Structure 1
């Protein structure tokens, strides 16, 4: 009975297969040749066109309207008499200017000079690596300038925290165990920036020992050395919205965090953490910061003083200037002069504009913006990193006309007696212009800020 049933089952199966092959029953089998689908030749093709137009360097700026805007600004309540302003076309040829050659305190618009010098001198696709070396039975932690380390694992979504101390500890422990090493002494190498870590006059605007707005230079730091104890840490590490005190020795604090993480990975540590020097050769483990181009955008959008000074110091090291705040200032000035930018009256107290005593002219600020447009890709990280009106960074909440949203790439500047702004503008009628405005000692700071915003909000109309 079973045998008969099996024969019937096989017969039915063979019968269905034959029916499938001749397309009588549904299924994957077929004896018909495969037909190649042919598509007709396209009748026409749409030619590719650029998504973004050129800067429109030859398109003139309405001088009469620009003059009217400047005259209105000069008479605005709160501005006072201590101001400089310049509006120029995309080539940097002035259209309207007032007191443009008077050197004034620039506040954070100084960062645009540093950004230009850094992009002209450094490989902006490179990273700052934090490394570990094994020197006998001593593990040496070495920093190369990443002051935006995270305490946890690498965070690919953010600039601040892209490289994580926990990830470095994990990779280091894995490398040590592969060598049969389970116990080490630990030292850290913080020699990158020499002995002078702060500009001379920064304390006046940096809340003294609390250092709320800038950290001393360090070869490595977790979140720029911020001490969040007792302060709510912002949810987005790439948006600086709170200013806690900072640790004076960021590298030592980073080493402490690293050792704690290393112990969690099963590596025993003998004694305390010493200062040391990394040996020659290759590291056994490392983590990499965001690319310098990304750090540049972080610096400009947040107006981050620490990263601005860092770019100055890196530029000094790259170009052979002294390893000091003064060397950083000299490196920035040399890069500007090499590019043909007017540096008359320029004095750089630091590379961020936070320190008291910096001076520059509106002409210098304007020519930096014009040079961005001229040089294009070579300085793109600096020009593209600027905050955008109504959309990003320090420009997002300024009182600039809604009609100008997305059309002005700018850098703001604010100190106790300073409001300033510089940038480049996409005009609604086509073409581009550049501008700079500096107000020192205004009659009323808030009214002066509003006057600057009102002026800039109308620039796309020119």
Structure 2
């Protein structure tokens, strides 16, 4: 088992040195608009998707223009924020209908220095804004240019039917058919893996095998404690697994034509790896390979080399997909990959500890941070808005940490904030991460200021008097931030 664990660790991506270019001027990459929420549909709207880094279609609209240059290269970091005006905006937000008294908010400069705030010392439930911490820790730890490969191995023993092992290394966005270079979801296809595997088997004179699938990457503990409380009908979270097709989504009418663009909440699998193996059996049969019996869970024997493999999207693309979709399963997986790479326990608690420690090591204030999970879905997480501001400042500082900004939504255009643009004058100037639960309305992000410079903000409302009105008040608040 020790040797097995060591081999697993070697497969996990190493520390990143990749610098990521992210726009903070009036620009945004055009990507998928889709978000999750629990008990509030305000964050769900579709949008266009393009996550291939080499080719970005430009929409002829000012808010979708593509900017170049380093994330902070052209920003005047010394541009002073009007403190009186910032406080006035906060006063308007705190007095808005539906918000209530259980609110914390802060406005800060690009360095994270807070210039205006209310109740920043109070820890509150952050919902999906917690994903920004996970993204920051993963960006600082993993090589985001890496991919998660799905492999096959062949174990031949005299007098026995050859055993084919399907091994997962964490790609939960496998396609059921051919590999699709146009999309993130399905970049690696089980159909292509089956075709390559069948060719290798038939060359060896093998047309009948047993199938074992190796889903041991994340150990026995796949779900944070109590996450089921906010996962009714299994709609918002599937257990983290070494492999899955389309994130384990069960579409009643079949997968949408564009696997990267969808708006519904289909039921999610409780056994994603087993279902992926079953799909692989079907694909093998299409290429002339018969699988005896049912696939069984197992392990790749030591000493074998892969027969063949398929590669998923780069981790940077998967992270952007996770952030814009607010995908809870992928957020938990990034936490687990980070924990393994950083030498923490391979468990949900190991993941939260790794994220908290790494974020703290980057200079972010985590004094009141409690993480129940890495996604914000499980009940029990708490933080103050200083933490969220610190994460934004770390991302704006550049380097690998800026990767998380690539996945943040642009109000009025992309992601979970596609319907959150209150004023067209702010189009393209805001990058945000939303957070919504039954009793949470939250948003965090960074803003390109119309008079130069950039600022960070964070708003967390718990127990709003009216969730709809509170969300609209937050929208109006962020729309005025560019003018500071």
Give me the TM-score of the superposition, normalised by structure 2: 0.83
Residue 147 of structure 1 pairs with residue 172 of structure 2: yes
Q: 2:133 aligns with which of 96, 105, 113?
A: 113
Q: 1:71 aligns with which of 77, 82, 91?
A: 91
Q: 2:155 aligns with which of 102, 117, 135?
A: 135
Alignment CA distance shift 1:64-1:156 (3 Å): same
Deviations 1:184-216 (A, max 9, x none): 111111100100111111111100xx3101111
Residue 163 of structure 1 pairs with residue 188 of structure 2: yes
Partner of 2:24: none
1:58-457 residue pairs with structure 2 within 5 A? 58-136=78-156, 137-207=162-232, 210-228=233-251, 230-231=252-253, 233-279=255-301, 280-374=303-397, 376-457=398-479
User: Distance in 1 between the 2:218 and 2:255 partners?
Assistant: 28
Secondary structure, aligned partner of 1:113 = helix
Alignment CA distance shift 1:400-1:236 (3 Å): farther
Please tell me whether the aligned partners of residues 363 and 390 of structure 2 are also in contact (alpha carbons under 8 angstroms).
no
- More divergent stretch after superposition (108-117 vs 401-410): 401-410
User: Distance in 1 between the 2:148 and 2:69 partners?
Assistant: 33
User: Distance in 2 between the 1:249 and 1:175 partners?
Assistant: 28
User: Distance in 2 between the 1:190 and 1:166 partners?
Assistant: 19
User: Distance in 1 between the 2:129 and 2:389 partners?
Assistant: 11
RMSD: 1.4
Please tell me whether the aligned partners of residues 142 and 278 of structure 1 are also in contact (alpha carbons under 8 angstroms).
yes
Please tell me whether the aligned partners of residues 138 and 184 of structure 1 are also in contact (alpha carbons under 8 angstroms).
yes
Higher RCO, Cα 8 Å, sep 6+: 2
The alpha-carbon deviation at position 231 of structure 1 amounts to 4.2
Please tell me whether the aligned partners of residues 85 and 97 of structure 1 are also in contact (alpha carbons under 8 angstroms).
yes
Residue 55 of structure 1 pairs with residue 80 of structure 2: no
User: Distance in 2 between the 1:134 and 1:358 partners?
Assistant: 44
User: Distance in 2 between the 1:145 and 1:71 partners?
Assistant: 46
Please tell me whether the aligned partners of residues 259 and 269 of structure 1 are also in contact (alpha carbons under 8 angstroms).
yes
User: Distance in 2 between the 1:408 and 1:205 partners?
Assistant: 29
Deviations 1:150-195 (A, max 9, x none): 1010111111111111001001001111222222111111100100
Deviations 1:427-452 (A, max 9, x none): 11110000100000011110100010
The alpha-carbon deviation at position 236 of structure 1 amounts to 2.5
Deviations 1:3-36 (A, max 9, x none): xxxxxxxxxxxxxxxxxxxxxxxxxxxxxxxxxx
The alpha-carbon deviation at position 57 of structure 1 amounts to 1.1
User: Distance in 1 between the 2:440 and 2:258 partners?
Assistant: 29
Alignment CA distance shift 1:232-1:242 (3 Å): farther
Secondary structure, aligned partner of 1:290 = strand
**Structure 2 residues without counterparts, runs of 5 or longer:** 1-66, 157-161
User: Distance in 1 between the 2:68 and 2:217 partners?
Assistant: 44
Please tell me whether the aligned partners of residues 421 and 427 of structure 2 are also in contact (alpha carbons under 8 angstroms).
no
Secondary structure, aligned partner of 2:352 = helix
